[in-house]
Chains A and B, each alone.
Chain A
Amino acid sequence: MRAFTYERPVDLAAALVAIGQPGARFLAGGTNLLDLMKVEAETPQHLVDVSRLPLDQISEENGGLRIGAMVTNTALAGDSHVREHYPVLARAVLNGASAQLRNQATTGGNLLQRTRCYYFYDPSTPCNKRAPGSGCSALQGYNRIHAILGASDACIAVHPSDMAVAMMALDAEVEVEAPHSHRRIKIADFHRLPGNTPQNDTILGAGELITAVILPPPPPGGQVYRKVRDRASYDFALVSVAAVVETDGERIRSARIALGGVAHKPWRALEAERQLAGVPLSDDALAAAGETAVKGAQGHGHNDFKIPLAARTVASALAEAAKQRKA
């Protein structure tokens, strides 16, 4: 870990000024940033601790929900409104990390957590995301946990968040603040594909602070989060699926499908969703949607299994969600 300076601004305005210092980064729960600093995958010179800013409220807003950026993962998953109306989000958050980490991790930090690609964490190896231009070790290396969709030759990393996958299915928006700007970004646009600049995980500008995540009113239908992983808990997704399915008992009215563990960003399977709208509910239809969801997927050797795994998990998550059929 390199030496760094630290400050805890008293309010939002002060935080937005403080972040203007060279090499400054926001610090929230610290569960990802500090780990990365220890291995020097990240080397900020100055930390601006925003963890105590008054952004830790969950409130109803226009039939939806406003989740402050500093709401902890534990608080988010335990919120009664979230549990009742956005169970896919509660489940996704609870499927992430461990209780101790969730107590510390924040909503904003979770969105901005970085990939768990082994090479990204090991400065002795080339990695375009950590050291642009140095090469991608995973491409020809051990890539079992890597992307099958939307990757580039520069980087095949996946975004590791569970929470963001559920938010993707819920059409969340990210509220962002900078000294002279205030904007809302659709979550689908928030994270980006690696292209030639894998060092950028999101479209967030320098110094922009996430202040909240906004959920629109809950979608109709059953909600399911299904996470496939090597062990039963405390493990990142090999593949995860957030599914929302509305049926009339026989026909699918609408479906939403988001995948985690497959791409550089939470992945929405829009074509598969369209394919399901209005069709009779059947195992075949769901299996076909699973296949569509992975259309164009490409494995890199160790992760080839993710293609059929993602297809099957989509199908089984859809089936489970369809069964719930909330009136």
Chain B
Amino acid sequence: MPDTILGQPIDRIDGKAKVTGAARYAGDRRAEHPAFGVIVTSTVGRGTINKVDIKEAQAAPGVVLVMSHENAPAQAPFKHAGDRHARPKPQLNGARVHYYGEPVALVVADTFEQATAAARLVRVSYQTEMGAYDLAGNRRFAYTPAELVQGKPDSSLGDFDKGFAQGAQTVDATYTTPYQSHNPMELVASLAQWDGDRLTVHCATQLVDAAHHSIASTLRIPLENVEVISEFIGGGFGGKLPIYGDAILAALAARQLKRPVKVTLTRQQMFSVTTHRAATIQRVRLAAGTDGKLTAIAHEVMSQSARMDEFVESAAASTRSMYAAPNRLTRHRVVPLDMPVSDSMRAPGDAVGQLAIEQAMDELAYKLDLDPVELRLRNEPTEDPEKHVPYSTRKLVECLKRGAAEFGWDKRPSVPGTLKDGQWLVGFGVAAAIRGNYRRPATARVRMDENRHVTVEMDMTDIGTGSYTIFAQVAADALGVPIGQVTVKLGDSSYPQTPGSGGSFGAASCAPAVHDACMEIKKKLDAGQGPGNLQAEVKSAPGEEFKKFSQYSYGAHFAEVGVDTSTGEARLRRMLGVFDAGRIYNSKTARSQLVGGMIWGVGSALHENAVVDQRYGLFVNHDLAGYHVPVHADVPAVDAIMLAGFDGKSNEMGSKGVGELGICGAGAAVANAIYNACGVRIRDYPITPDKVLRGLMRPANLAQQR
């Protein structure tokens, strides 16, 4: 490896601004003489608004505007078709209520406190209708969606039934995963300001370009009259792919009031006004011969979708590429419910899909009396089994082997319920990880001034992942300047267009553009120009490699878990992930992403669950005291190893997606470790003490004891 800053674990360059408060998030933005808007949300899950009584709210101190569907300005109609995140997002545009917690009014006042108080005084009466809120109970209404992001909803190869019947051992199990809420630390917020017919919106969005289109089209104003700024984002996880009512309502109110308006969602509103991860019911069937080779794989997924806005949780998509087996079947079905809108959440599809399939593989390993690492090794394909193309790069075997060695997998108790530590039973679990690798077109602008100071501009975002830092590294490397001489400017719609942050494609899409633009500058320098006043703007786009090759990043998780035999509490003790994500631009920020993903996987296994009150369609535990994510005590020793790699088919820089990889499979490793610890197999996530306890108390339980 040449002496390069690329890949180095340097601290994030925006870190100081963030910890000192100098970094301004959308909600921190200030404007002259602002007004503050607070959203009022529906208190029924399905129905029609009879009347919005705003009298009392309007008379409350400081209130300058109350908006509901009765007086909201006309906007472009909602469209199902088209780019999901660039579509018009009209607000307060009808009397229909589609879900509990949908915006039904906006109250704007001189202060945030006044608006908050007055928001409670808006009286909304409804014609309530019976809604459908239960996924399992409404499965008869499941339908086949037209397509997934990854292609067709269904796939099949060979003869599944025959292959399944041939198996010496089979698994036929149903796994369920609950609703999850993104709820990043930063609340969704917007500050909108008009200057004549020009609008500026500071908002928290992962996709500046999509937000730009979405806002302009909703308001029916020319794109060039709108500027969207999202300089810092306090976590996205997919929850900030769309824009929400805050952006549109702030813009509408600001136009009407002729003063800047800021709208921030409450923590509680984040659960319904923003999107969530859909609940799923997944049936997995596996069959294998005594040699441990799979003869058949089926993965059938049913997921919730908002009735008003279809979203498919493509949980079985990666199953098509993961393991070799001659007979295969995947299916995706969608159940429309009167629930808030589901959308992508960190590793959409894959995160929940692997909670199912990677636990099923574990179950199969026990049936075959085979080490679960070995079972996976025996089913390593030589090419993509359904697409019949080679893998761009695939180091799953190395991930598994390296992980097993580093973790001390050989110390795993082969019989569940046999390793004790005081009141705890201890178990080891493994799971593999696969995550689709994506790349989209991106354009970067690079400038160099007379002091050789380099400025990079893109409408890309940094949602906390380290984008600012890695683009500075790419530019510093390409131009041979110290990183301190590079300024990276992101998150403004006036900068060149990129796909933004989502689907782990940000770095793989944008880094090549930055690199190429730098190379143009270098060419000019080499030709004797400059250094002052140099500029290059280069678009970089994927070619045929995504058709010719099967593109994924990979990993293997190893978890050690303790289960308290009297209470059923399952606690992680340590965890290791080994990952194949191609070239790593910054081993520190990448590791943070991977570890963060793994921790989310731990939360998926043990904690996270947005519970629906089946009578109202309400997410009951809608705050961070009731909605559990792991805290420090839940994640004692979690580490990630990144295998050295370079995937030139992914992009010229050799990187693959990192941000979502860590969560994939992580929860299944924990679930499998719980089984290994105490012989209790829980297929209904999250694996909370009540469920484990029930298993422990079953007379047949291997490890039954007090």
The answer to whether A313 and B706 touch (CB under 8 A), given A1-B113, A140-B615, A141-B620, is no
Beyond A118-B620, A233-B631, whether A316 also contacts B113 by CB under 8 A is no
How many angstroms between the C-alpha atoms of A234 and B624 in the bound complex?
Answer: 10
Contact among A230, A233, A239, A305 with B694 in the assembled complex (CB-CB below 8 Å): A305
Contacts of B690 in A (CB 8 A): 144, 238, 305, 309
Q: Which residues of A contact B300 (CB under 8 A)?
A: none
Task: Give chain A interface residues in 187-231, CB to chain B under 8 Å.
Answer: 228-231
C-alpha gap A8/B28 in the complex (Å): 31
Asked whether B268 is an interface residue with its Cβ less than 8 Å from the other chain, the reply is: yes
Q: In whole angstroms, how far apart are the Cα atoms of A236 and B623 in the complex?
A: 14
Query: For the complex, is A184 an interface residue (Cβ under 8 Å from B)?
Result: no
What chain B residues lie within 8 Å of A124 (beta carbons)? Answer: 43, 618
- A133, CB-defined interface residue at 8 Å: no
- The answer to whether A39 touches B567 (Cβ under 8 A) is no
Chain B residues, Cβ within 8 Å of A40: 120
B700 within 8 Å of A (CB atoms):
no
Instruction: With both chains docked as a complex, state the minimum distance between the C-beta of B311 and any C-beta of chain A, in angstroms.
Output: 24
CA distance A3 to B261 in the complex (A): 22
The interface stretch among B68-76, B207-215, B527-535, B606-614 is: B606-614
A-contacting residues, B652-706, CB 8 Å: 688-690, 693-694, 697, 706
- Determine whether the beta carbon of B628 is less than 8 Å from that of A231: yes
Given the complex of chains A and B, what is the CA–CA distance between A66 and B568 in angstroms?
37
Given A231-B607, A309-B693, CB of A1 within 8 Å of CB of B116: yes
Q: Which residues, 3 to 52 on A, are CB-close (under 8 Å) to B?
A: 3, 39-40
Interface check B525, CB cutoff 8 A = no
Does A312 sit at the interface, judged by CB under 8 A?
yes
Contacts of B630 in A (CB 8 A): 231
Smallest beta-carbon distance B671→chain A, Å:
16
Q: Which of A230-257 contact B (CB under 8 A)?
A: 230-236, 238-239
Known: A232-B571, A316-B423. A238 touches B611 (CB 8 A): no
B residues within 8 A CB of A230? 606-607, 628, 688-689
CB distance from A172 to the nearest CB of B (A): 26
* Nearest residue, chain A, Cβ from B630: A231
**A234→B618 CA distance, assembly (Å):** 24
Which residues in B have their C-beta under 8 angstroms from that of A233? Answer: 631-634
Known: A232-B631, A312-B706. Is A141-B615 also a contact (CB below 8 A)? yes
| Chain A positions 301-327 with a Cβ under 8 Å from a chain B Cβ | 305, 308-309, 312-313, 315-316
Beta-carbon nearest neighbor of A119 in chain B: B620
CB interface residues, B 589-644, toward A, < 8 Å: 606-607, 611, 613, 615-616, 618, 620-623, 625-626, 628, 630-634
C-alpha spacing A3/B116, complex, angstroms: 10
Q: Are the CB atoms of B628 and A235 closer together than 8 Å? A: yes
> Number of residues in A with C-beta < 8 Å to the partner?
39
Q: Is B543 an interface residue (CB 8 A)?
A: no
Q: With both chains docked as a complex, state the minimum distance between the C-beta of B685 and any C-beta of chain A, in angstroms.
A: 13
Q: What is the chain A residue whose CB lies nearest that of B603?
A: A231
CB neighbours (8 Å) of B268 from chain A are 39, 122
Please tell me if B566 contacts chain A, counting CB pairs below 8 Å.
Answer: yes
B615–A232 touching, CB < 8 Å? no
Q: Is chain B's binding surface mostly helix, strand, loop or mixed?
A: loop
Q: Name the prevailing secondary structure of the A interface residues.
A: loop
CB pair B626–A316 under 8 Å, yes or no, is: no
Q: Does B569 contact A (CB under 8 A)?
A: yes
Is A116 engaged at the interface, CB distance under 8 Å to the other chain? yes
A110 to B694, CA, bound (A): 32
Query: Is A104's beta carbon under 8 Å from chain B?
Result: no
The reply to whether the CB of B94 lies closer than 8 angstroms to some CB of chain A is no
Q: Is B484 in contact with chain A by the CB < 8 A criterion? A: no
Q: In the complex, which residue of chain A has the Cβ closest to the Cβ of B60?
A: A3
Which A72-124 residues have a C-beta within 8 angstroms of B? 98, 116, 118-119, 121-124
- Say yes or no: is A180 at the interface (Cβ < 8 Å to chain B): no
A313 close to B693 (CB less than 8 A): no
Give the nearest-CB partner of A314 in chain B: B566
Query: What is the chain A residue whose CB lies nearest that of B568?
Result: A309
| A232 engages B634 (CB within 8 Å) | yes
Q: Is the CB of A308 within 8 A of B693?
A: yes
Cα A125 to Cα B43 with chains together (Å)? 8
Report the nearest B residue to A97, measured CB to CB. B625
Q: Which residues of A contact B120 (CB under 8 A)?
A: 2, 40, 123
Q: Is B308 an interface residue (CB 8 A)?
A: no
B117 proximal to A (CB < 8 A): yes
B61 contacts partner chain A, Cβ-Cβ < 8 Å: yes
List residues of chain A with CB within 8 A of the CB of B117.
1-3
Known contacts A1-B116, A308-B697, A316 near B567 by CB under 8 Å = yes
Q: Across the interface, do B607 and A3 meet the contact criterion of CB distance under 8 Å?
A: no
Across the interface, which residues of A come within 8 angstroms of B613, CB to CB? 125, 137, 141-142
Partner of A313, one of B567, B607, B631: B567
Question: Are A122 and B622 in contact (CB-based, < 8 A)?
Answer: yes
How many angstroms between the C-alpha atoms of A3 and B63 in the bound complex? 14
Please give the distance in Å from B613's CB to the nearest CB on chain A.
5
Q: Mark A263-287, 1 if CB is under 8 A from B, else 0.
A: 0000000000000000000010001
- In the complex, the answer to whether A312 meets B566 with C-beta atoms within 8 Å is yes
Residue of B nearest to A123 (CB): B120
Return the chain B residue nearest A234 by Cβ: B631
Give the Cβ gap from A96 to chain B, nearest Cβ, in Å. Answer: 12
Contacts A309-B568, A309-B693, A316-B566 known; 6 new A-B pairs at CB < 8 A: A121-B626, A122-B620, A124-B618, A125-B613, A141-B620, A233-B634
Can you report 25 A-B residue pairs in the complex whose CB atoms are below 8 A from each other? A2-B117, A3-B113, A119-B620, A121-B623, A121-B626, A122-B268, A125-B616, A141-B620, A142-B611, A142-B621, A144-B690, A228-B567, A229-B569, A229-B689, A231-B607, A231-B628, A233-B633, A234-B631, A235-B628, A238-B690, A305-B689, A308-B697, A312-B566, A312-B706, A316-B566
Closest CB pairs A-B (n = 8):
A232-B633, A233-B633, A305-B690, A124-B43, A316-B566, A312-B566, A228-B567, A118-B620
